[in-house]
Every structure is written in C-alpha cells, then in structure tokens.
C-alpha cells in the first residue's frame, strides 16, 4: 500500500453552525454539546479512501461573518474546503455565500475542492433552509453538497471523504473507492 498522502483541509462558516462539532465528531467520535467559540484549532486523523490512506490535518476556523477579513493563512497550503451553514439559520446560509466569494477572490482559482454542508438536520422543526436551496447553491459553485447532523453523527465521515475525493480528482489522482459515495 502506498504511504499516506498528507492533505490539509479548512472548515469554515458562520459562528454556531457546528464546525467544531463536525470536526470533533469525525476525529474523536463524540459530540460536544457545550458551545465554546473556537479561535482556531487543528485536528489530525488518518483515513482510508479507497485504497489510499490520507493523513489529514483539519483547520477548524473561528466563525466568520460578513465583515471578517479572510485569513491569508487559509489561502496557502490548504487542499480543500468544507463550508458549513446551519439549516436552521438564514444568516449562516447568506454568510457561507460571502465566505465562498472571499475564498475565490483570495485564492484566485476558479476550481477549488469544496463541500457545502448543511448541518443540524436533526433540528427538523427549526429548519429554514431546504435541501433544494443547499443543493442549488452547491451546483452553482460546482461543489459537492451534503446535509449532516454532528449530534447524531449523520453523514459526518462522508463530508471528509467527499472533500478528499474532490481534491484527488482536482489533482488528477482520484482514488479508486470501494463503493460509491452518496452525496445528497
């Protein structure tokens, strides 16, 4: 088996959308209920996608808003991005679009491996953003789209596998997967 490929991902979105919850659920298999605003953390995990192992470093960013300056550190050395909004927040859906624009402006590339994530699908009665709205936005970006629940660990691993597959496809070295990845 080939040695693990090193990939660096950034997870971004408005505050309180569940970026840290998704990351911690993926890396440590636990849901953190208490909200403690993140400054910026980096997590690391080895994951196998198809026949390839990846050593992924996940930069869990502080919550962005429409006024925050896009950190220059996130435009260098990052292989792929996970942009998260909460399906219960119109504001977070608007902010993720602003983050996407800033991301493309800062990086200067048209094609960037991005997975758009609608998180908190377990809050069915509080949903404001429909699946179709998220899917339409992702399609307009040529990005993958996944809805998830960090709390219930629904589709969490799929998010990170999907961004790795996009990175590899972008690099022209797409791994052979054991099974198809289902993206909502």
Domain containing residue 19: CATH number: 3.40.50.300
49 SS3 class: strand
For residue 36, what are the domain limits? 5-171
Q: Which residues are paired to 61 by β-bridges?
A: 40
Domain count, the chain: 1
183 located within any domain: no
Would you say residue 167 lies in a domain?
Answer: yes
The pLDDT-based confidence of 175 (bands split at 50, 70, 90) is very low
Whether 95 is in a domain gets the answer yes
Task: Please report whether residue 87 resides in a domain.
Answer: yes
Residue 177 has a pLDDT of 41
pLDDT of amino acid 111: 76
38 — pLDDT class (breaks 50, 70, 90): low
Q: Is residue 182 part of a domain?
A: no
- Asked if the structure places residue 179 within a domain, the reply is no
Q: Summarize the confidence of residues 150-170 as an average pLDDT.
A: 96
The predicted pLDDT at position 2 comes to 79
153: left (phi over 0), alpha (psi -120 to 50) or beta: left
Mean pLDDT across 118-147: 98
Is 38 among the domain residues?
Answer: yes
What share of the chain has pLDDT > 90, as a percent?
66
Question: Lowest mean pLDDT: which of 40-44, 68-72, 96-100, 137-141?
Answer: 68-72
* CA-closest candidate to residue 183, choices 133, 140, 129, 131: 131
| Rounded Cα gap, residues 182 and 55, in angstroms | 22
Task: Please check whether residue 76 lies inside any domain of the structure.
Answer: yes
């Amino acid at each position: 088996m080939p040695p693990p490929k090193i990939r660096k991902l950034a997870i971004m979105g408005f505050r309180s959308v569940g970026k840290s919850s998704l990351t911690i659920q993926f890396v440590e298999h636990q849901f953190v209920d208490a909200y403690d605003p993140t400054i910026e953390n980096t997590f690391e995990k080895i994951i196998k996608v198809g026949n390839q192992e990846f050593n992924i470093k996940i930069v869990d960013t502080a919550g962005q808003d429409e006024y925050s300056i896009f950190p220059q550190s996130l435009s260098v050395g990052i292989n792929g991005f996970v942009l998260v909004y909460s399906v219960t927040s119109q504001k977070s859906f608007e902010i993720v679009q602003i983050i996407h624009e800033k991301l493309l402006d800062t990086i200067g590339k048209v094609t960037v491996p991005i997975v758009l994530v609608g998180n908190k699908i377990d809050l069915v009665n509080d949903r404001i953003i429909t699946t179709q709205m998220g899917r339409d936005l992702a399609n307009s970006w040529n990005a993958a789209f996944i809805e998830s629940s960090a709390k219930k660990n629904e589709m969490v691993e799929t998010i990170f596998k999907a961004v790795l597959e996009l990175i590899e496809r972008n690099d022209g070295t797409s791994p052979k997967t054991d099974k198809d990845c289902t993206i909502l």
